[in-house]
Structure 1
Amino acid sequence: MSNRYIPYGYKFEAGQPIPHPDESQIVREIFDRYCAGDSLKVIAENLTHRQVEYSSDKASWDKARIKRILENSRYIGSDECPALISKEQFVAANLKKEQANTNKLTIDDDIKLFKELTVCAKCGKKVTRRTDSRLAEPVSWKCAECGWSVRLSDARFKAQVIEIMNALINDPDSIVPEGSAPEIHTLESKRLLNEFHRALDSGQASEGELIMMVFQIGAANYQAINSREAITARLAADYSKAEPLSTFQRELFQRTARRLLMDANGMLSIELQNGKIVTERNE
């Protein structure tokens, strides 16, 4: 890397880029202020007013310059540059920027996917997404069964999902279910169990027929358990190979999630395809 291409926020020392004592603080300030709600324009005008130099004798900031800093993934650390900000802050800032580029009330395809999968963490009933353009945060989620409602931006919703997926990437072993296997609820096992109870209640089935039904129910449950183990192995393999995410990866999420669980505070958990519920996030 030459001096010409070193990103703002760094300087060379002994031929290696290190954080510039003043510029690195400005980079952190830009991310902090943008995540806190300041616009690109407000941040640029403030830095220009304070005569913060972008390069030698240049202190004129604009929205494009702020945007380039927010989009530069080298600030979370790379082979060339040490980290100036956390990966979580970079993700949050860029999700906020994505949302700012569209109408706040326009729902994107990822949020449509989340809507279909989101249920109340307490009662398991569907949680609905609502919008009100008169409010500073127009998006809210409501559980009619439990009676709670929480305001949660689409950007923060997506950021939470990414945080949980990154926790799985960081620790693929956490995908493996703990303790005993959950109760099996496949359609086939339910059908066979209903037939067994009907036959038992009728009093017309022979002992041999009832025993055969019990064997069939056991076989269906055994197949479901084997399927659960296969899903766990596939998920663990997927996350062992995956790199930490800075943006939402739809395909990986669809292979991962059975449901999204939201509590009354707007905190999300993911129910994996193998039935395990994951709430842990990277620190």
Structure 2
Amino acid sequence: MMQRHMPMGYKMVNGAVEIQEEHAKTVKSIFADYIAGKSMFAIAKDLTAIGVLNANKKPNWNHGSVGKILQNIRYQGDELYPRLIDDETFKKAQERRGRVEKKLSRTQQVQAIRNQTVFSGMIRCGECGENYKKYIEHAGKSSEKVKWKCKHYIYQNRVLCKNHFFTDEDLKEIFIEATNQLLRQRWLIEKIKPQEPPKMSLDLRETENRIKELELEGDYSNPILPELILRRAQLYYAGAKVYDQPRNAEKLKEALAENTTLTEFDEELFKTIIKQMTIYKETKIAVEFIGGITIERPIETQRKDGNHGSSKKDGSNHTASNEI
């Protein structure tokens, strides 16, 4: 009698494990078919179609149940289980599994690259702080839709963040509107503050003075000197503020120089001048340009059946700020 805790193809007789011939034939056929080139999905489909019982005594097979059999080292035999699959057959099955998994991994990597768009990593949720992620609904069907949702929209199998959903077209339109507002208010770029030198902290000043003392004394062999020099570098790095607004302001001017009104989405322009877009529930979208300029757009969400739909933008009552 086959037992659930025991690999398929074995049975317990008088306290000893023996081969259950009927199920052993199924196990052997799975290995043979797989080595011959049949996929685990195809094997599972065929076994289900002809009504072969699985380890749980049900005629339902899937990719996972076939995979568990193919990777079970018990079939090679040990002190408890008699050999059911020879070493060469088991080795060939594992080699093919490795090739398939490697190919699948490459396919998944390629798919991940394809899923990357100009908006990837650029849209942030202003409610929970997570990035927005592209979700494909009804994939492969005529009703397929692509929407950008907060990464924490679904967390641990429940809806967590209820911020707005957006389509690619929504985000493109937001960019166009915000950029056109900036084109009408070019003076915002001129308000960017000049670069400020980093201020020296007390700790840094004391470290700097101690280094100078040792150097004046000519005590270059003092073991504490390298530590002080490293400490000074760490303090400079920690305290330094990089103000790149002036450089980015020029970059922004150059990018917008030949534009008076943007009528369609320009991917290269987006990548050049946008730092981040932040979505705030029920209120606004903050479009941050390089150089610290932020244009805020109001949003209104239409809900259907209790779910968040895509956004509707209103061209009025917008604000702009220069965050330094």
TM superposition score normalised by structure 1:
0.42
Q: Which has the higher contact order (CA 8 A, sep 6+)?
A: 1
Computing the radius of gyration from Cα coordinates, the structure with the larger value is 2
Q: Which has the higher strand share?
A: 2
Q: Which has the higher helix share?
A: 1
TM superposition score normalised by structure 2:
0.38
